[in-house]
């Protein structure tokens, strides 16, 4: 196996990953409610010069461990606080995840071209691209879990690398645990134990290297957790361990997601534009595992998928982002399935490509229909029709490649549409930015009014208003849910405390949803003057003044 060839593929993946994950990340403002949540936490840590304790709204917050915020602070030091620097670390880890899939594919399949193809499959998955370009903990966490899996299999497949493989397995599991919690350890461990048990090779981990790995893991993880528990005690234990872990097992944050089919459908759908091939590849995986001389990589990938499902499926609180650790495994299976099917000239590959092409072909009429139906959002249809025309040309090239049996060419072309739509959206951000971000709302408020007290916000805008205004905020959400993780800010879901809050402020500026504007008018009655100063996107900027003042 020539190193030079691998370096060539890695260099190509790095260059492509830059355009898939990093280029243009500063264009769109940070979005509500999650991107501003994580960025505001890192921003407040920077303002307080804290490297160990996360802060939000001026108080310690314990929803996630420290590593993501620590990395974001490094980005802020190097590039300042900006849209680009906030998104840099998830994007960088997205790139590293692609490289890890290439290396794992190389160790598993011992074929550089196949490993490269698997990495391209991961790189072009729409969900993976999206998570690489957004400020969440999930991409960093998932890639560290991927590193842990890669390290183990490298040590398993090459016995002379066993020591390094096992030690790295625990190092990356420790970093994952410092990113999102104990699941960073339990997911890789469950998959590995299940794999070795089915292979009847559990003795592989009964060794001094495994013991040293556990010691290194504890040495990396315990200091931060023990420090925070010692400093904050019950408040940390309750919020982090109970509210954000144990409670999620028994209570659904989003009840509509709490179904048995949510994760299976999400996992397969998240690999778009390879969804059809992902579904087909699962049958291929079962077939490979059942072969008499089945190669271990297929069972390993199956155990990886099973471990993620076993851990997350049991919890009632289900989110799309939780399934991200499974996507690299599906890319490795799907990439192997597509590459092998094309190389071996299997008859079913052409119909599958044609079905996939038909799915893409539906996008053009849908795009034109949407542009006309939602014309109030799309004031200039020229760019939309331009995208439809470019997409149509790409579809013709795809169809020509399939009909001429240039199947690899067609597969590579399927990697283009998601980035094409992404860049169209980014460079058309002016049409929708005000509907996803509070940046322009806060800029208008700060430019035109003197604000000396708390801004009253609808719940989904509170974090964004805090981030972009640097002002204290309160939340009004009459008869609505409170934050899943309590925030140290006034949060009113009944009339009386909301009215009392407004009465205690001479003038209250608000950033509200339409329904909350009506609530404020009803609560204040004839004693107050309620003015809608401006509407930006879906955000109503409102001023409330007591008529007696």
What is the structure's pLDDT at 549?
61
Q: Which of 409, 397, 415, 277 is nearest to 349 (CA)?
A: 277
Q: Which of 129, 175, 142 is nearest to 325 (CA)?
A: 142
Q: What is the pTM of this model?
A: 0.94
CB neighbourhood size of 71 (10 A): 18
Which residues does the chain have with pLDDT short of 70?
1-5, 375-380, 549
Q: How far apart are CA 425 and CA 403, in angstroms?
A: 31
Q: CA dihedral defined by 370, 371, 373, 379, rounded to 10 degrees?
A: 150
What is the structure's pLDDT at 526?
87
What is the structure's pLDDT at 430?
82
What is the structure's pLDDT at 157?
93
Angle at which helix 183-198 crosses helix 296-313, to 10 degrees, equals: 140
What is the structure's pLDDT at 366?
86
From residue 366, alpha-carbon distances to 269, 352, 359, 371, 383 in Å are 19, 22, 11, 9, 15
Exposure of 416 by Cβ count < 10 A (0-12 exposed, 13-18 middle, 19+ buried)? middle
């Amino acid at each position: 196996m020539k190193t030079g060839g691998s370096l060539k593929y890695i260099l190509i993946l790095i260059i492509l990953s830059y355009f898939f994950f990093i280029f243009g990340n500063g264009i769109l403002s940070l979005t509500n409610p999650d991107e501003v949540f994580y960025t505001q936490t890192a921003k407040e840590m920077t303002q307080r010069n804290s490297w160990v304790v996360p802060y939000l709204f001026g108080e310690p917050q314990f929803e996630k461990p420290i590593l993501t915020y620590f990395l974001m602070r490094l980005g802020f030091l190097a590039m300042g606080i900006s849209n680009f620097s906030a998104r840099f670390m998830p994007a960088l880890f997205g790139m590293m995840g692609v490289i890890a899939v290439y290396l794992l594919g190389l160790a598993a399949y011992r074929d550089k071209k196949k490993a490269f193809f698997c990495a391209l499959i991961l790189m072009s998955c729409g969900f993976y691209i999206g998570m690489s370009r957004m400020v969440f903990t999930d991409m960093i966490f998932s890639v560290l879990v991927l590193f842990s899996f890669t390290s183990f299999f490298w040590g398993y497949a090459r016995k002379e690398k066993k020591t390094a493989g096992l030690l790295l397995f625990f190092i990356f599991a420790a970093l994952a645990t410092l990113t999102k919690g104990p699941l960073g350890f339990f997911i890789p461990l469950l998959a590995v134990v299940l794999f070795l048990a089915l292979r009847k090779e559990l003795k592989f981990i009964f060794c001094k290297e495994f013991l040293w790995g556990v010691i290194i893991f504890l040495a990396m993880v315990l200091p931060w957790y023990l420090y925070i528990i010692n400093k904050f005690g019950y408040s940390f234990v309750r919020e982090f361990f109970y509210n954000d872990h144990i409670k999620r097992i028994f209570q659904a944050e989003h009840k509509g997601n709490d179904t048995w089919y949510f994760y299976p459908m999400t996992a397969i759908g998240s690999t778009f534009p390879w969804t059809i091939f992902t579904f087909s590849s699962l049958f291929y995986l079962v077939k490979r595992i059942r072969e008499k001389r089945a190669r271990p990589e297929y069972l390993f990938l199956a155990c990886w998928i099973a471990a993620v499902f076993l851990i997350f499926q049991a919890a009632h609180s289900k989110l799309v982002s939780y399934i991200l650790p499974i996507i690299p495994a599906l890319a490795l299976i799907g990439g192997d399935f597509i590459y092998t099917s094309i190389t071996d000239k299997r008859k079913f590959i052409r119909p599958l490509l044609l079905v996939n092409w038909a799915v893409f072909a539906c996008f053009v009429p849908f795009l034109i229909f949407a542009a006309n139906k939602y014309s109030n959002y799309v004031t200039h249809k020229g760019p939309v029709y331009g995208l439809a025309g470019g997409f149509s040309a790409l579809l013709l090239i795809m169809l020509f490649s399939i009909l001429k049996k240039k199947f690899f060419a067609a597969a590579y072309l399927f990697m283009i549409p998601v980035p094409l739509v992404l860049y169209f959206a980014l460079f058309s951000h002016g049409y929708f930015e005000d509907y996803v971000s509070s940046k322009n709302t806060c800029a208008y408020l700060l430019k035109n009014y003197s604000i000396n007290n708390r801004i009253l916000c609808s719940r989904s805008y509170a974090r964004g208003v805090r981030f972009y205004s640097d002002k204290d905020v309160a939340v009004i959400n009459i008869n609505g849910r409170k934050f899943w993780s309590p925030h140290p800010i006034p949060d009113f879901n009944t009339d009386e405390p909301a009215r009392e809050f407004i009465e205690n402020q001479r003038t209250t500026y608000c950033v509200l949803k339409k329904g909350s504007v009506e609530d404020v008018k009803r609560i204040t009655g004839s004693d107050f003057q309620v003015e809608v100063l401006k509407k930006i996107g879906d955000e109503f900027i409102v001023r409330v003044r007591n008529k007696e003042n």
